[in-house]
A and B are shown apart, each in its own frame.
Chain A
């Protein structure tokens, strides 16, 4: 990675040039890719969402050194909030509520009025985003709270459990009161609107989005929105990393007791890491829900949590450009494999021996194991040794086998 450097502190000129180059490439990409079909842009749209997720998880795992194995749960929280407040789902909820408890139901109907009873709540996605950040952040802090005084392993198992539990709720909270519509999920979620322009294309436009007289496919419009959000996330997390709070996180990651002795309020700082990491997940989830137009429990399985973790680990724990690279590789590669490896197998052996879906999982598992064994700093570690987690320097470190 000698060609590109993003080290603004030590090599500001080179860093700016690399950033400009990458940005130019990213801006041109959809126009080139859409020549080959919208599905390629769509793949990158999803990859950008995963990068946002990976950057959020990087706050918890990379900066603060706390393993979160249920991160996709916060993504689910965001997606389902959009589902509830920007689709006809709320009408279904009211209907089931009237059936379950007439008094409460009627009272709510009187409160919301007949329009909402008919069509559900249709808030703008942008109004749901802060809500999603808030609710996800709160959930993150609540989950972390019981493990604050305990070893980091407990956070891993609590979050793993939460990731599984939330699926049970998504699957079953449709009866007697229909919050989530169960395994079918919530449909007909409103598309995102930017300055009144629907990014899914207005009705009758054939999925073309008209921005200032220039028409482009819907996936391209989403691409630019997600690119903007990704850049915003990169900006926020990199500012966080070098802030007082970011340095406190790193101090806790490296040695919690020493950090405490230096006057860091470890409880609050750790809670902030959980909450901030989770709120990025919530925002990405809200975007995902509105982009897809539907949410269902199967998008939020354990494999997805592992996938996001694998992105962070593969790219370089705690190093933002590395995490972006990891996210890009692991989100886009399986899709590329689907288009390349399956036809190749078909041609060579006559059948598909390893499906792309299986290959994807193998890739995640191998990334986690091999990176930790071979080069814990990841594919693209931070150029500053002091910014790398001590896990990365462990090879020559002699730590007592057990305290």
Chain B
């Protein structure tokens, strides 16, 4: 029972990071019908910038409390990630908006590989240690342990999601986003500047990914230039599981996928009689993706996704 609770907690932590990244995928998909393959790498850029800021703080402003340092790192990583994602949209996607589907998909994967290469040139090839800033003493919740970093992560994820929901449901920009997602042409006729909406969508997605990236580093204590690939792919699976294009779906899908992965990794050894171990954790997202696509391609919250074009 205690392991079960522990796995659920681990799953929540993992899942809230997936959810943050999945939101970026799903929002871009909602307005543009495009998979932004570079989104996982935006998370990586966020983590790298966060680490750079932490190192600068260490030399120029020693003695700051750990929480404050982390906050500064996140606040510094967000604008850079936002800028990167807006540039990606401007350079790689905007000109291909009316092109057949294959074209932006190919540039997306190209941008992803370019971002990784640039990161490798700037930050090097080997994994970088990410400093542990919060108290390493874990908190005991009913027998399960959770670190302070993870508690902060859950709180940040929850706050970001609430802010996002308020933004999408209550503001003028949010209404414009929903209108463009529904039908860009009609939204344009109603006076919505779809380019501004699209840029805002990329910016918001990048900000969420930056938060996830820095917290990913803080949680796992090590980052590399390829760290964005797997979380990016899994977050996409989460977005599909929740129903792509739907922000509530992305949140539910992310958390659900995190829990599935954690439980799967915890129990796969017992289930297969020791044949497969917990290093197969990464296959669960893929299995979920295949199952969802076969059984219910629209996901939990989604509507139709069949090819109509």
Contacts and interface: CB of A to CB of B under 8 A. Distances in A.
Interface of A: 61, 65, 67, 69, 146-147, 149-154, 156-158, 160-162, 164-165, 168, 171-172, 175-177, 256, 302-303, 306, 309-310, 313, 317, 354, 358, 361-362, 364-369, 372-373, 376, 389-391, 394, 397-403
A29 B113 CA distance: 33
A399 B308 CA distance: 13
A142 B281 CA distance: 22
A361 B117 contact: yes
Contact of A372 (B107, B279, B306): B107
Interface string B5-45: 00000000000000000000000000001110100000000
Interface string B240-266: 100000000000000000000000000
Given A358-B121, A365-B113, A373-B92, A150 B99 contact: no
A65 B98 contact: no
B105 interface: yes
Interface stretch (B64-72, B206-214, B289-297): B289-297
Contacts of A168: 279-280, 282-283
B114 A150 contact: no
Contacts of B309: 151, 402-403
Nearest to B110: A368
Contacts of A61: 102
Nearest to B274: A176
Contact of A302 (B107, B229, B275, B290): B229
Given A365-B110, A372-B106, A376-B99, A150 B229 contact: no
A172 B103 contact: no
Given A158-B293, A168-B279, A365-B117, A401 B97 contact: yes
A147 B98 contact: no
29 contacts: A61-B102, A149-B307, A150-B305, A151-B305, A156-B35, A158-B289, A161-B233, A164-B282, A164-B286, A165-B282, A165-B286, A172-B277, A176-B275, A303-B113, A309-B106, A354-B121, A358-B120, A361-B116, A361-B117, A365-B112, A365-B117, A368-B109, A369-B91, A369-B107, A372-B104, A373-B107, A391-B103, A394-B103, A401-B97
Contacts of B92: 369, 373
Interface of B: 33-35, 37, 91-92, 95-107, 109-114, 116-117, 120-121, 183-185, 229-230, 233, 236-237, 240, 274-275, 277, 279-280, 282-283, 285-286, 289-290, 293-294, 297, 305-309
A361 B117 CA distance: 6
Contact of B106 (A164, A354, A368): A368
A366 B294 contact: no
B102 A67 contact: yes
Interface centre among A150, A171, A177, A303, by most B CB within 10 Å? Answer: A150
Nearest to B286: A161
A149 B306 contact: yes
A157 B113 contact: no
Nearest to B33: A402
Given A158-B289, A168-B283, A309-B109, A372 B98 contact: no
User: Interface of chain B, helix or strand or loop or mixed?
Assistant: helix
Nearest to A317: B102
A164 B230 CA distance: 8
Contact of B113 (A154, A164, A306): A306
Contact of B293 (A150, A176, A309): A150
3 closest Cβ pairs, A-B complex: A368-B110, A365-B114, A394-B99
Nearest to B116: A361
A191 to B, nearest CB: 33
A19 B34 CA distance: 41
B237 A372 contact: no
Interface centre among B34, B121, B237, by most A CB within 10 Å? Answer: B121
Contacts of A69: 109
Contact of B297 (A150, A156, A256, A372): A150
B279 A67 contact: no
Contact of B105 (A153, A172, A303, A306): A153
B237 A369 contact: no
Contacts of B110: 306, 310, 364-369, 372
A168 B34 CA distance: 28
B254 to A, nearest CB: 16
Contacts of A376: 99, 103
Contact of B307 (A161, A256, A366): A256
A65 B105 CA distance: 12
A403 B116 contact: no
A391 B279 contact: no
A157 B282 contact: no
A71 to B, nearest CB: 12
Nearest to A374: B95
Nearest to A255: B309
A151 B105 CA distance: 12
Contacts of A161: 233, 237, 285-286, 289
Contacts of B290: 146, 158
Contacts of A177: 275
A313 B106 contact: yes
Contacts of A172: 277, 279-280
A152 B102 contact: yes
B307 A391 contact: no
Given A157-B236, A372-B110, A398 B98 contact: yes
B102 to A, nearest CB: 5
